[in-house]
Structure 1
Amino acid sequence: MTVTTTQQELPSQGMSTHESTTADETHLAAPSIGRLLRRIHRDERGAVSIETILIIAAIAIPILIFIIKFGWPRIKTWFNQGMEELEGGMDDAAGA
């Protein structure tokens, strides 16, 4: 039987806890994981930021889909024309 001993200090109370577990007694770690998950679930810090990001994404994604679906050929043509004009200007500047 293997015994693992861990000691951790709780900074908020200035106390230390001493927990001893064996290979057969892993049930001691389960409540602390459960408490951690409950604490994380109840923590509402950052909820407003996440909600704001989701709202912005809900607005931006359909706009991007619309632009890509219907505006992409126009954007591509406009970009290609600009590149051709730029290349023509380079040739004129080089004296070709």
Structure 2
Amino acid sequence: MLDWTEYRKELAGRLGEFSQLTPGTMEGYKALASAGSKTGHLDAKTRELIALAVAVTTRCDGCIAVHTKAAKATGASREEVAEALGVAVALNAGAAMVYSARALDALET
């Protein structure tokens, strides 16, 4: 299994290097990443649970590393995280079914 604490450290270092090479990109990302929290419609824990579900569906280890730590910091329980991940599993299965229908459609042309 991955050492997530070490991975977060290594990732932070690489992203720091990336930020030096292209600071505008990192500034734009930070603005985008923080935009949703400014509306106040969702609390931080809910946003982190959504972020974890999306991280799983997009297969982003860096996102998983960052947002599991953040979810813990917001007080998300193991059960809440598991429920959010269950939603991700269902969405991935649903997407596979939808794209299966598309594949059958393409087969007919």
TM-score (norm 1): 0.32
- When Rg is computed on C-alpha atoms for both structures, the one with the higher figure is 1
Q: Which has the higher contact order (CA 8 A, sep 6+)?
A: 2
Higher normalized strand content (fraction of residues): 1
Higher normalized helix content (fraction of residues): 2
TM-score (norm 2): 0.28
